[in-house]
């Protein structure tokens, strides 16, 4: 039985944890410690935050900078959506170097301990939790794959096909708990177990923040976490428990097609020396200049600074750096795969850039409920 359980609720906000709707988590918090001063890393998207959760460092240091980003050691111009099968491909090509630093799974393996994840979220979220699990005695379980792969057919034969991820994701929440209880605990015997529920993220994307559907789903996930604890308690064990979430939400007022806007202004991915590669991530946009052209950087920054949908701008390009712009290192994105320019979409509520909150060396965009921002492309909420 596990010595440590990490329970993740995708997209859960602290304000949603109450005795009425989440009695299991509320009781844990009352008996333990509530971390009042915490926040997601920037950009506030799932896969970057999942990697930070298991490495303890910011995205620039671990190398998975966003849900969509450029991996310069893989391609200088291709935008990668951090999902299966692309992430394993990059991990193989870099000899296990998808992440630049060890994960918790790797670290505890050095102490002869075992990590198991059961993830009802995205495939990228699951894979980055332990990209090299197959080299150890650890296991990552997801509805699309397992690492190592032989567990996938065993789970399918035992439980049947995984439910589709659709809103509300009730069946997937229950299957995630079922596999965690009957397979992860019952057969794999981990020392550290991470269970990642896909709610309330799935329902909040579909129905809105704190919608009745979302409330039902995080209450259901809470109840299934209770089932997991009951199974552990029946064995006489009492593990240490961490309850975490990867991000909050901002409500989207309007949508900007950043690719089209840049193309109309003469900035695109196929412009030779003046190429600009765009990776949109909901309320933020990462921009890459493959040729490191200083004149292009000046033109691009000047144009961005004049756009109504642009809020905060960050860059470490010396030729264009000004006091009015933040530094990419302030955002925790400085590293071998860091973008050249970062844009945070403008807050419509105030008409000013979305506020930047500093904690230590980390600068992040606030995503409190009720704040309205412009989103890049077709994301309905930040993810």
CATH code where residue 263 lies: 3.30.1360
Contact 200, 217 (CB under 8 A): yes
The reply to whether 266 falls in a domain is yes
User: Residue 46 phi/psi, 5° resolution?
Assistant: -60, -50
User: In this predicted model, what pLDDT tens digit does every residue of 249-272 receive, in sequence order?
Assistant: 887 778 899 999 999 999 989 888
- Whether residue 202 is found in the same domain as residue 278: no
Assess whether 180 and 276 both reside in one domain. Answer: no
Q: Tell which wins on pLDDT, 214 or 252.
A: 214
Name all contacts of 28-35 with Cβ < 8 Å and 24+ positions apart. Answer: 28/241, 28/243, 29/243, 32/241
Instruction: Please give the pLDDT value at position 268.
Output: 87
10 part of a folded domain: yes
Q: What mean pLDDT value characterizes the chain?
A: 89
**Residue 77 counted as domain residue:** yes
If phi over 0 gives left and psi between -120 and 50 gives alpha, with beta otherwise, what is residue 59?
Answer: alpha
144 in the same domain as 223: yes
Residues 229 and 347 in one domain: no
Give yes or no for residue 356 having a pLDDT over 90: no
pLDDT digit string, tens, across residues 28-59: 999 999 888 888 999 999 999 999 999 999 99
H or E segment to which residue 171 belongs? helix 170-179
pLDDT-derived band at 189, boundaries 50, 70, 90 = very high
Domain match, 264 and 221 both: no
Structural domains in the chain (count): 2
Q: Helix, strand, or coil here: 341?
A: strand
pLDDT of residue 253: 79
Q: Region 136-148: what's the mean pLDDT?
A: 97
- pLDDT exceeds 90 at position 380: no
Are residues 224 and 359 both part of a single domain?
Answer: no
pLDDT of residue 237: 83
Q: Do the Cβ atoms of 177 and 227 come closer than 8 Å?
A: yes
- Same-domain pairing of 36 and 179: yes
340 within 8 A of 289, measured Cβ to Cβ: yes
CATH number at residue 224: 3.40.720.10
**Does 350 have pLDDT greater than 60?**
no
Q: Does a structural domain hold residue 382?
A: no
Residue 368 has pLDDT above 90, yes or no: no
Q: Which band of pLDDT confidence, cut at 50, 70 and 90, is reported for residue 372?
A: very low
Checking if the pLDDT of 307 tops 50, the result is yes
Domain-terminating residue out of 184, 216, 244:
244
Q: What is the dihedral of CA 293, 44, 334, 280, to 10 degrees?
A: -20
Please indicate, yes or no, whether residues 218 and 318 belong to a single structural domain of this protein: no
| Domain contains 383 | no
Q: Bin 331: left if φ > 0, else alpha if -120 < ψ < 50, else beta.
A: alpha
Query: Does 39 map to a domain?
Result: yes
pLDDT recorded at residue 348: 63
Give residues with Cβ within 8 angstroms of 354, minimum separation 6: 250, 283, 311, 312, 344, 345, 346, 347, 365, 366, 371, 373
Q: Of 244, 277, 309, which residue is a domain's last?
A: 244
Give the domain-ending residue among 217, 244, 271.
Answer: 244
Let me know whether 115 and 240 are in one domain.
yes
Residue 375 confidence class, pLDDT cut points 50, 70, 90: very low
**What is the crossing angle of helices 150-159 and 170-179, to 10°?**
110
In the predicted model, is pLDDT for residue 367 greater than 80?
Answer: no
Asked if residue 145 and residue 45 are part of one domain, the reply reads yes
Does the pTM surpass 0.75? The reply is: yes
227 and 273 co-located in one domain: no
Residue 381 lies in a domain: no
Note whether 257 and 216 are same-domain residues. no
Domain residue limits at 26: 4-244
Is residue 48, in this structure, part of any structural domain at all? Answer: yes
* Separation between Cα atoms, residue 321 and residue 324, nearest integer Å: 8
């Amino acid at each position: 039985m596990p010595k440590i359980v990490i329970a993740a609720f995708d997209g859960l906000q602290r304000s949603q944890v109450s005795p009425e709707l989440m009695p299991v988590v509320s009781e844990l918090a009352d008996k333990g410690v509530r971390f009042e001063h915490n926040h997601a890393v920037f950009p506030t998207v799932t896969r970057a935050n999942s990697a930070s959760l298991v490495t303890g460092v910011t995205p620039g240091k671990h190398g998975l900078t966003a849900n969509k980003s450029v991996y310069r050691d893989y391609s200088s111009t291709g935008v990668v959506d951090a999902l299966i099968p692309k992430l394993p491909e990059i991990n193989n090509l870099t000899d296990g170097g998808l992440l630049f630093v060890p994960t918790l799974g790797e670290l505890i393996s050095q102490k002869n301990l075992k990590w198991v994840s059961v993830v009802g979220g995205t495939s990228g979220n699951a894979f980055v939790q332990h990209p090299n699990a197959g080299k150890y005695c650890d296991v990552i379980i997801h509805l699309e794959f397992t690492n190592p792969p032989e567990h996938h057919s065993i789970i399918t034969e035992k439980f049947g096909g995984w439910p589709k991820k659709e809103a509300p994701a009730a069946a997937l929440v229950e299957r995630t708990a079922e596999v965690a209880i009957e397979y992860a605990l019952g057969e794999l015997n981990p020392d550290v177990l991470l269970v990642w529920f896909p709610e309330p993220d799935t329902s909040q994307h579909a129905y809105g923040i704190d919608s009745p559907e979302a409330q039902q789903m995080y209450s259901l996930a809470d109840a299934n976490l209770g089932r997991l604890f009951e199974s552990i308690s029946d064995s006489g064990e009492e593990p240490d428990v961490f309850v975490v979430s990867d991000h909050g939400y901002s409500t989207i007022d309007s949508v900007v097609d950043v690719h089209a806007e840049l193309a109309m202004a003469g900035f695109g991915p196929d412009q030779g020396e003046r190429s600009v590669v765009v990776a949109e991530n909901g309320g933020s946009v990462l921009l890459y200049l493959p040729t490191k052209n200083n004149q292009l950087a000046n033109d691009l920054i000047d144009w961005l600074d004049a756009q109504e949908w642009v809020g905060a701008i960050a860059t470490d390009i010396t030729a264009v750096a000004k006091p009015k712009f933040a530094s990419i290192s302030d955002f925790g994105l400085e590293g071998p795969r860091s973008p050249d320019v970062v844009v945070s979409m403008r807050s419509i509520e105030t008409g000013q850039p979305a506020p930047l909150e500093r904690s230590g060396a980390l600068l992040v965009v606030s995503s409190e409920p009720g704040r309205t921002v412009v989103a890049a492309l077709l994301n309905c909420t930040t993810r």
